[in-house]
Amino acid sequence: MNKIINILKEKKSIPLDQFINISLYDKKFGYYMKKNPFGRDGDFITSPLVSNLFGEMLAVWCVAFWEKMGKPKKILLVELGPGDGTLCKDLLQTFKQFKNFYDSLEIQLLEISSKLKNIQKIKISSKKVRWIKKIDQINYGPIIFLANEFFDALPVKQLYKKKKIFFEKHVVLSSDKKKLEFLYKKADNSLIKSIRNLNLTSSNGIIEYPIEALKFLKIISKKINKFDGGLLTFDYGYKMKKNQNTLQSIRKHKFSNVLFKPGHSDITSLINFVLFHKILNKNNLDVKKITTQNEFLKKIGILERANILSKKMTFKEKANMFYRLKRLIDPKEMGNLFKVIFAKKKGKDFSLGF
Ligand SMILES: C[S@@+](CC[C@H](N)C(=O)[O-])C[C@H]1O[C@@H](n2cnc3c(N)ncnc32)[C@H](O)[C@@H]1O
Protein backbone atom coordinates (compact mmCIF):
# COMPACT_ATOMS: atom_id res chain seq x y z
CA MET A 1 0.00 0.00 0.00
CA ASN A 2 2.82 2.40 0.94
CA LYS A 3 4.36 2.02 -2.48
CA ILE A 4 1.11 3.08 -4.18
CA ILE A 5 0.55 5.92 -1.72
CA ASN A 6 4.06 7.21 -2.38
CA ILE A 7 3.55 7.03 -6.14
CA LEU A 8 0.24 8.84 -5.82
CA LYS A 9 1.70 11.57 -3.62
CA GLU A 10 4.05 12.29 -6.47
CA LYS A 11 1.93 11.59 -9.52
CA LYS A 12 -1.55 12.48 -8.16
CA SER A 13 -3.20 9.77 -10.23
CA ILE A 14 -2.40 6.58 -12.12
CA PRO A 15 -4.53 4.81 -14.73
CA LEU A 16 -6.22 1.60 -13.63
CA ASP A 17 -3.92 -0.70 -15.65
CA GLN A 18 -0.85 0.79 -13.97
CA PHE A 19 -2.48 0.35 -10.57
CA ILE A 20 -3.19 -3.33 -11.35
CA ASN A 21 0.32 -3.82 -12.65
CA ILE A 22 1.89 -2.48 -9.45
CA SER A 23 -0.58 -4.32 -7.20
CA LEU A 24 0.07 -7.68 -8.85
CA TYR A 25 3.53 -7.53 -10.39
CA ASP A 26 5.70 -4.92 -8.70
CA LYS A 27 8.96 -6.71 -7.88
CA LYS A 28 8.71 -6.16 -4.13
CA PHE A 29 5.15 -5.24 -3.46
CA GLY A 30 3.18 -7.21 -6.08
CA TYR A 31 0.75 -9.91 -5.03
CA TYR A 32 2.15 -12.59 -7.38
CA MET A 33 5.73 -11.68 -6.57
CA LYS A 34 5.73 -12.55 -2.92
CA LYS A 35 3.38 -15.44 -2.27
CA ASN A 36 1.97 -18.67 -3.59
CA PRO A 37 -1.69 -17.70 -3.92
CA PHE A 38 -3.06 -21.08 -5.01
CA GLY A 39 -4.92 -23.80 -3.16
CA ARG A 40 -7.06 -24.18 -0.10
CA ASP A 41 -4.64 -22.24 2.13
CA GLY A 42 -4.19 -19.55 -0.49
CA ASP A 43 -6.71 -17.22 -2.07
CA PHE A 44 -8.10 -19.21 -5.00
CA ILE A 45 -7.92 -22.51 -6.83
CA THR A 46 -7.51 -23.20 -10.53
CA SER A 47 -8.50 -26.17 -12.71
CA PRO A 48 -5.11 -27.96 -12.69
CA LEU A 49 -5.20 -27.87 -8.89
CA VAL A 50 -8.75 -29.17 -8.75
CA SER A 51 -7.91 -32.38 -10.61
CA ASN A 52 -4.98 -33.87 -12.52
CA LEU A 53 -7.53 -35.08 -15.08
CA PHE A 54 -7.43 -31.52 -16.43
CA GLY A 55 -3.73 -31.75 -17.33
CA GLU A 56 -4.09 -35.29 -18.56
CA MET A 57 -6.86 -34.36 -21.01
CA LEU A 58 -4.96 -31.30 -22.22
CA ALA A 59 -1.91 -33.49 -22.84
CA VAL A 60 -3.95 -35.85 -25.00
CA TRP A 61 -5.31 -32.86 -26.90
CA CYS A 62 -1.75 -31.57 -27.54
CA VAL A 63 -0.63 -34.95 -28.86
CA ALA A 64 -3.65 -35.09 -31.19
CA PHE A 65 -2.90 -31.58 -32.49
CA TRP A 66 0.75 -32.51 -33.06
CA GLU A 67 -0.38 -35.58 -35.04
CA LYS A 68 -2.65 -33.40 -37.14
CA MET A 69 0.27 -31.05 -37.86
CA GLY A 70 2.09 -34.05 -39.37
CA LYS A 71 4.07 -35.14 -36.29
CA PRO A 72 6.81 -32.50 -36.68
CA LYS A 73 10.24 -33.61 -35.41
CA LYS A 74 10.33 -30.63 -33.08
CA ILE A 75 7.34 -29.33 -31.20
CA LEU A 76 7.47 -26.46 -28.75
CA LEU A 77 4.89 -26.15 -26.01
CA VAL A 78 4.74 -22.75 -24.35
CA GLU A 79 2.75 -22.39 -21.17
CA LEU A 80 1.81 -18.82 -20.34
CA GLY A 81 1.67 -18.03 -16.63
CA PRO A 82 2.22 -21.54 -15.22
CA GLY A 83 1.28 -20.63 -11.63
CA ASP A 84 2.63 -23.23 -9.21
CA GLY A 85 3.64 -25.57 -12.06
CA THR A 86 0.94 -28.20 -11.50
CA LEU A 87 -0.38 -28.16 -15.07
CA CYS A 88 3.09 -28.53 -16.57
CA LYS A 89 3.89 -31.39 -14.20
CA ASP A 90 0.67 -33.23 -15.09
CA LEU A 91 1.20 -32.65 -18.81
CA LEU A 92 4.70 -34.10 -18.67
CA GLN A 93 3.49 -37.17 -16.85
CA THR A 94 1.00 -37.96 -19.62
CA PHE A 95 3.32 -36.93 -22.47
CA LYS A 96 5.76 -39.63 -21.35
CA GLN A 97 3.26 -42.22 -22.50
CA PHE A 98 3.48 -40.92 -26.09
CA LYS A 99 7.12 -41.67 -26.91
CA ASN A 100 7.39 -40.05 -30.35
CA PHE A 101 5.69 -36.91 -29.17
CA TYR A 102 7.80 -36.82 -26.01
CA ASP A 103 11.03 -37.19 -28.00
CA SER A 104 10.05 -34.23 -30.19
CA LEU A 105 8.98 -32.01 -27.31
CA GLU A 106 10.47 -28.98 -25.63
CA ILE A 107 8.55 -26.91 -23.11
CA GLN A 108 9.09 -23.22 -22.42
CA LEU A 109 7.45 -21.52 -19.48
CA LEU A 110 6.77 -17.79 -19.45
CA GLU A 111 6.49 -16.62 -15.86
CA ILE A 112 6.80 -13.07 -14.54
CA SER A 113 7.12 -13.94 -10.85
CA SER A 114 10.50 -15.12 -9.50
CA LYS A 115 8.74 -16.47 -6.45
CA LEU A 116 6.46 -18.67 -8.58
CA LYS A 117 9.35 -19.57 -10.90
CA ASN A 118 11.17 -21.05 -7.91
CA ILE A 119 8.09 -23.02 -6.91
CA GLN A 120 7.77 -24.28 -10.50
CA LYS A 121 11.45 -25.28 -10.60
CA ILE A 122 11.00 -27.44 -7.53
CA LYS A 123 7.84 -29.07 -8.84
CA ILE A 124 9.04 -29.68 -12.40
CA SER A 125 12.47 -31.21 -12.66
CA SER A 126 12.72 -32.10 -16.32
CA LYS A 127 15.35 -31.45 -18.95
CA LYS A 128 12.49 -30.81 -21.36
CA VAL A 129 11.55 -27.59 -19.61
CA ARG A 130 13.14 -24.18 -19.65
CA TRP A 131 12.01 -20.75 -18.57
CA ILE A 132 11.89 -17.75 -20.86
CA LYS A 133 11.82 -14.10 -19.83
CA LYS A 134 10.02 -12.68 -22.84
CA ILE A 135 7.63 -14.10 -25.37
CA ASP A 136 9.74 -12.52 -28.17
CA GLN A 137 12.48 -15.03 -27.34
CA ILE A 138 10.54 -17.84 -29.01
CA ASN A 139 12.34 -18.56 -32.25
CA TYR A 140 11.16 -21.91 -33.58
CA GLY A 141 8.06 -24.00 -33.89
CA PRO A 142 5.52 -25.35 -34.45
CA ILE A 143 4.30 -23.93 -31.15
CA ILE A 144 1.39 -24.93 -28.98
CA PHE A 145 0.58 -22.03 -26.64
CA LEU A 146 -1.38 -23.12 -23.57
CA ALA A 147 -2.89 -20.67 -21.11
CA ASN A 148 -5.11 -21.30 -18.12
CA GLU A 149 -6.26 -18.22 -16.25
CA PHE A 150 -3.41 -16.22 -17.73
CA PHE A 151 -5.22 -13.50 -19.66
CA ASP A 152 -7.61 -12.66 -16.82
CA ALA A 153 -4.61 -11.84 -14.62
CA LEU A 154 -3.31 -9.13 -16.98
CA PRO A 155 -3.92 -5.41 -16.37
CA VAL A 156 -6.89 -3.77 -18.10
CA LYS A 157 -7.93 -0.20 -18.68
CA GLN A 158 -11.45 1.02 -18.04
CA LEU A 159 -13.17 3.91 -19.73
CA TYR A 160 -16.54 5.49 -19.24
CA LYS A 161 -18.53 7.02 -22.03
CA LYS A 162 -21.10 9.68 -21.27
CA LYS A 163 -22.73 11.95 -23.83
CA LYS A 164 -20.10 11.09 -26.43
CA ILE A 165 -17.23 11.98 -24.08
CA PHE A 166 -14.75 9.34 -22.94
CA PHE A 167 -13.22 9.28 -19.48
CA GLU A 168 -10.48 6.94 -18.25
CA LYS A 169 -10.55 5.35 -14.81
CA HIS A 170 -7.66 6.41 -12.58
CA VAL A 171 -6.71 5.68 -8.99
CA VAL A 172 -6.14 8.64 -6.63
CA LEU A 173 -5.62 9.26 -2.92
CA SER A 174 -8.62 10.29 -0.84
CA SER A 175 -8.54 13.80 0.61
CA ASP A 176 -7.28 12.51 4.01
CA LYS A 177 -4.53 10.68 2.04
CA LYS A 178 -5.32 7.39 3.78
CA LYS A 179 -7.47 5.57 1.26
CA LEU A 180 -7.52 4.95 -2.46
CA GLU A 181 -10.36 6.07 -4.66
CA PHE A 182 -11.33 5.89 -8.31
CA LEU A 183 -11.51 9.02 -10.40
CA TYR A 184 -12.50 9.39 -14.03
CA LYS A 185 -10.36 11.74 -16.08
CA LYS A 186 -10.85 12.77 -19.69
CA ALA A 187 -9.29 10.10 -21.90
CA ASP A 188 -6.40 10.73 -24.30
CA ASN A 189 -7.20 10.85 -27.98
CA SER A 190 -4.84 7.96 -28.72
CA LEU A 191 -6.69 5.78 -26.22
CA ILE A 192 -10.07 6.76 -27.67
CA LYS A 193 -8.74 5.90 -31.12
CA SER A 194 -7.64 2.45 -29.93
CA ILE A 195 -11.02 1.54 -28.47
CA ARG A 196 -12.82 2.95 -31.51
CA ASN A 197 -10.67 0.71 -33.72
CA LEU A 198 -11.74 -2.25 -31.61
CA ASN A 199 -15.38 -1.21 -31.93
CA LEU A 200 -15.79 -1.20 -28.16
CA THR A 201 -17.58 2.12 -27.97
CA SER A 202 -21.13 1.53 -29.14
CA SER A 203 -23.14 2.74 -26.15
CA ASN A 204 -22.79 4.71 -22.95
CA GLY A 205 -21.29 3.13 -19.85
CA ILE A 206 -18.15 1.24 -18.85
CA ILE A 207 -15.76 0.03 -21.50
CA GLU A 208 -13.11 -2.51 -20.58
CA TYR A 209 -9.99 -2.49 -22.67
CA PRO A 210 -7.71 -5.51 -22.09
CA ILE A 211 -4.64 -3.66 -23.29
CA GLU A 212 -2.02 -6.19 -22.12
CA ALA A 213 -3.93 -9.27 -23.29
CA LEU A 214 -4.29 -7.78 -26.76
CA LYS A 215 -0.55 -7.12 -26.93
CA PHE A 216 0.05 -10.79 -26.11
CA LEU A 217 -2.49 -11.97 -28.68
CA LYS A 218 -0.72 -9.96 -31.35
CA ILE A 219 2.69 -11.48 -30.65
CA ILE A 220 1.26 -14.99 -30.23
CA SER A 221 -0.54 -14.71 -33.58
CA LYS A 222 2.67 -13.57 -35.27
CA LYS A 223 4.59 -16.53 -33.87
CA ILE A 224 1.88 -18.99 -34.91
CA ASN A 225 1.70 -17.56 -38.43
CA LYS A 226 5.47 -17.75 -38.72
CA PHE A 227 6.18 -21.15 -37.15
CA ASP A 228 2.80 -22.97 -37.32
CA GLY A 229 0.83 -24.18 -34.28
CA GLY A 230 -1.96 -22.72 -32.18
CA LEU A 231 -3.19 -21.17 -28.96
CA LEU A 232 -5.54 -22.95 -26.56
CA THR A 233 -6.76 -20.80 -23.71
CA PHE A 234 -9.10 -21.31 -20.74
CA ASP A 235 -10.40 -18.36 -18.80
CA TYR A 236 -13.19 -16.83 -16.81
CA GLY A 237 -15.14 -14.90 -19.38
CA TYR A 238 -18.25 -13.99 -21.29
CA LYS A 239 -19.59 -13.93 -24.81
CA MET A 240 -22.35 -11.33 -24.63
CA LYS A 241 -21.78 -8.89 -21.81
CA LYS A 242 -21.25 -5.30 -22.95
CA ASN A 243 -20.33 -2.14 -21.10
CA GLN A 244 -19.97 -3.79 -17.72
CA ASN A 245 -17.37 -3.52 -15.05
CA THR A 246 -15.98 -7.03 -14.53
CA LEU A 247 -13.05 -6.04 -12.35
CA GLN A 248 -12.85 -8.12 -9.20
CA SER A 249 -10.57 -8.83 -6.33
CA ILE A 250 -10.29 -12.14 -4.47
CA ARG A 251 -8.76 -12.82 -1.11
CA LYS A 252 -9.03 -16.05 0.88
CA HIS A 253 -11.61 -17.41 -1.60
CA LYS A 254 -13.88 -14.39 -1.10
CA PHE A 255 -14.53 -11.21 -3.07
CA SER A 256 -12.84 -8.14 -1.67
CA ASN A 257 -12.57 -4.47 -2.60
CA VAL A 258 -10.15 -3.84 -5.49
CA LEU A 259 -8.73 -0.78 -3.75
CA PHE A 260 -8.43 -2.37 -0.33
CA LYS A 261 -4.98 -3.70 0.58
CA PRO A 262 -3.46 -3.77 -2.91
CA GLY A 263 -0.62 -6.28 -3.06
CA HIS A 264 -2.53 -8.65 -0.78
CA SER A 265 -5.33 -9.80 -3.06
CA ASP A 266 -5.69 -11.04 -6.60
CA ILE A 267 -7.21 -8.64 -9.12
CA THR A 268 -8.79 -10.04 -12.27
CA SER A 269 -11.27 -9.11 -14.96
CA LEU A 270 -13.39 -11.36 -17.11
CA ILE A 271 -12.32 -12.09 -20.65
CA ASN A 272 -14.37 -10.69 -23.50
CA PHE A 273 -14.20 -13.80 -25.67
CA VAL A 274 -15.96 -12.21 -28.62
CA LEU A 275 -13.22 -9.57 -28.71
CA PHE A 276 -10.53 -12.26 -28.45
CA HIS A 277 -12.17 -14.16 -31.30
CA LYS A 278 -12.26 -11.03 -33.43
CA ILE A 279 -8.64 -10.09 -32.75
CA LEU A 280 -7.31 -13.58 -33.44
CA ASN A 281 -9.33 -13.67 -36.67
CA LYS A 282 -8.03 -10.27 -37.65
CA ASN A 283 -4.51 -11.60 -37.09
CA ASN A 284 -5.20 -14.16 -39.79
CA LEU A 285 -5.67 -17.22 -37.59
CA ASP A 286 -8.31 -19.90 -37.95
CA VAL A 287 -10.42 -19.49 -34.79
CA LYS A 288 -12.83 -22.15 -33.57
CA LYS A 289 -16.13 -21.30 -31.94
CA ILE A 290 -15.93 -20.29 -28.30
CA THR A 291 -16.90 -23.21 -26.12
CA THR A 292 -17.15 -23.92 -22.39
CA GLN A 293 -14.77 -25.92 -20.23
CA ASN A 294 -17.61 -28.40 -19.68
CA GLU A 295 -18.13 -29.02 -23.40
CA PHE A 296 -14.45 -29.06 -24.25
CA LEU A 297 -13.47 -31.58 -21.56
CA LYS A 298 -16.47 -33.79 -22.25
CA LYS A 299 -15.81 -33.81 -25.99
CA ILE A 300 -12.25 -34.95 -25.48
CA GLY A 301 -13.45 -37.78 -23.28
CA ILE A 302 -12.93 -36.76 -19.65
CA LEU A 303 -15.95 -38.79 -18.45
CA GLU A 304 -14.78 -41.95 -20.24
CA ARG A 305 -11.28 -41.47 -18.83
CA ALA A 306 -12.62 -41.06 -15.30
CA ASN A 307 -14.70 -44.22 -15.67
CA ILE A 308 -11.66 -46.22 -16.80
CA LEU A 309 -9.56 -44.88 -13.91
CA SER A 310 -12.33 -45.56 -11.39
CA LYS A 311 -12.24 -49.31 -12.09
CA LYS A 312 -9.00 -49.69 -10.17
CA MET A 313 -9.92 -47.32 -7.35
CA THR A 314 -11.16 -47.79 -3.82
CA PHE A 315 -14.53 -46.27 -3.00
CA LYS A 316 -12.86 -43.35 -1.25
CA GLU A 317 -10.56 -42.62 -4.19
CA LYS A 318 -13.47 -42.82 -6.60
CA ALA A 319 -15.56 -40.41 -4.54
CA ASN A 320 -12.66 -37.97 -4.43
CA MET A 321 -12.02 -38.15 -8.19
CA PHE A 322 -15.68 -37.68 -9.16
CA TYR A 323 -16.11 -34.85 -6.67
CA ARG A 324 -13.18 -33.05 -8.30
CA LEU A 325 -14.39 -33.87 -11.79
CA LYS A 326 -17.74 -32.33 -10.93
CA ARG A 327 -16.03 -29.09 -9.90
CA LEU A 328 -14.26 -28.95 -13.23
CA ILE A 329 -17.25 -29.56 -15.46
CA ASP A 330 -20.41 -28.73 -13.53
CA PRO A 331 -22.13 -25.83 -15.35
CA LYS A 332 -22.79 -24.23 -11.95
CA GLU A 333 -19.11 -24.40 -11.07
CA MET A 334 -16.11 -24.09 -13.40
CA GLY A 335 -17.86 -25.84 -16.30
CA ASN A 336 -19.69 -22.81 -17.68
CA LEU A 337 -17.86 -19.90 -16.09
CA PHE A 338 -14.75 -20.96 -17.94
CA LYS A 339 -14.70 -20.58 -21.69
CA VAL A 340 -12.23 -22.06 -24.12
CA ILE A 341 -10.91 -20.61 -27.34
CA PHE A 342 -8.59 -22.20 -29.88
CA ALA A 343 -6.85 -20.35 -32.69
CA LYS A 344 -4.45 -21.98 -35.12
CA LYS A 345 -2.57 -21.33 -38.29
CA LYS A 346 -4.84 -21.57 -41.31
CA GLY A 347 -4.57 -24.82 -43.22
CA LYS A 348 -5.31 -28.32 -42.04
CA ASP A 349 -8.47 -28.55 -39.99
CA PHE A 350 -8.32 -29.57 -36.32
CA SER A 351 -11.23 -28.97 -34.04
CA LEU A 352 -11.01 -31.59 -31.31
CA GLY A 353 -13.00 -30.37 -28.31
CA PHE A 354 -14.99 -27.75 -30.26
C1 LIG B 1 -4.10 -16.75 -12.16
S2 LIG B 1 -2.49 -17.36 -12.30
C3 LIG B 1 -2.80 -18.87 -13.22
C4 LIG B 1 -1.82 -19.94 -12.91
C5 LIG B 1 -1.91 -21.27 -13.65
N6 LIG B 1 -2.00 -21.12 -15.06
C7 LIG B 1 -3.04 -22.11 -13.13
O8 LIG B 1 -4.00 -22.34 -13.87
O9 LIG B 1 -2.97 -22.56 -11.97
C10 LIG B 1 -1.70 -16.29 -13.46
C11 LIG B 1 -0.27 -16.65 -13.78
O12 LIG B 1 0.23 -15.79 -14.81
C13 LIG B 1 1.48 -15.22 -14.40
N14 LIG B 1 1.64 -13.95 -15.15
C15 LIG B 1 0.88 -12.86 -15.07
N16 LIG B 1 1.31 -11.89 -15.91
C17 LIG B 1 2.36 -12.40 -16.57
C18 LIG B 1 3.21 -11.90 -17.59
N19 LIG B 1 3.08 -10.68 -18.09
N20 LIG B 1 4.20 -12.71 -18.05
C21 LIG B 1 4.33 -13.96 -17.54
N22 LIG B 1 3.56 -14.48 -16.57
C23 LIG B 1 2.59 -13.73 -16.08
C24 LIG B 1 1.32 -15.12 -12.91
O25 LIG B 1 2.51 -14.88 -12.23
C26 LIG B 1 0.70 -16.49 -12.63
O27 LIG B 1 1.65 -17.51 -12.69
| CATH code for the domain in which residue 216 is found | 3.40.50.12710
Question: Is 25 part of a structural domain of the chain?
Answer: yes
Q: For residue range 249-293, what is the model confidence (pLDDT) as tens digits?
A: 999 889 999 999 899 999 999 999 999 999 999 999 999 889 999
Residue 266 Cα: closest atom of ligand 1: 1
pLDDT at residue 48 above 90?
yes
Question: Is 159 part of a structural domain of the chain?
Answer: no
Q: How many angstroms does the Cα of residue 327 sit away from the middle of ligand 1?
A: 21
pTM of the model: 0.97
Q: Considering only CA atoms, which residue is closest to atom 13 of ligand 1?
A: 81
HEC profile of the chain: CHHHHHHHHHHCEEEHHHHHHHHHHCCCCCHHHHCCCECCCCCECCHHHHCHHHHHHHHHHHHHHHHHCCCCCCEEEEEECCCCCHHHHHHHHHHCCCHHHHHHEEEEEECCCHHHHHHHHHHCCCCCEEEECCHHHCCCCCEEEEEECCHHHCCCEEEEEECCEEEEEEEEECCCCCCEEEEEEECCHHHHHHHHHCCCCCCCEEEEECHHHHHHHHHHHHHHHHHCEEEEEEEEEECCCCCCCCCEEEECCEEECCCCCCCCCEEECCEEHHHHHHHHHHCCEEECCCEEHHHHHHHCCHHHHHHHHHCCCCHHHHHHHHHHHHHHHCCCCHHHHEEEEEEEECCCCCCCCC
Q: For residue range 311-346, what is the model confidence (pLDDT) as tens digits?
A: 999 999 999 999 999 999 999 999 999 999 999 999
Q: Considering only CA atoms, which residue is closest to atom 20 of ligand 1?
A: 112
Question: Is 191 part of a structural domain of the chain?
Answer: no
> Which residue among 31, 117, 150, 327 is best mutated to probe the pocket of ligand 1, counting the most ligand atoms within 8 A of its Cβ?
150
Q: How many structural domains are present in the chain?
A: 1
Q: For residue range 54-86, what is the model confidence (pLDDT) as tens digits?
A: 999 999 999 999 999 999 999 999 999 999 999
Question: Is 323 part of a structural domain of the chain?
Answer: yes
Question: CB of 141 closer than 6 A to ligand 1?
Answer: no
Residue 230: which domain range? 13-154+209-250+262-345
pLDDT at residue 98 above 90?
yes
Question: Is 325 part of a structural domain of the chain?
Answer: yes
Question: Is 317 part of a structural domain of the chain?
Answer: yes
> Which residue among 44, 52, 112, 337 is best mutated to probe the pocket of ligand 1, counting the most ligand atoms within 8 A of its Cβ?
112
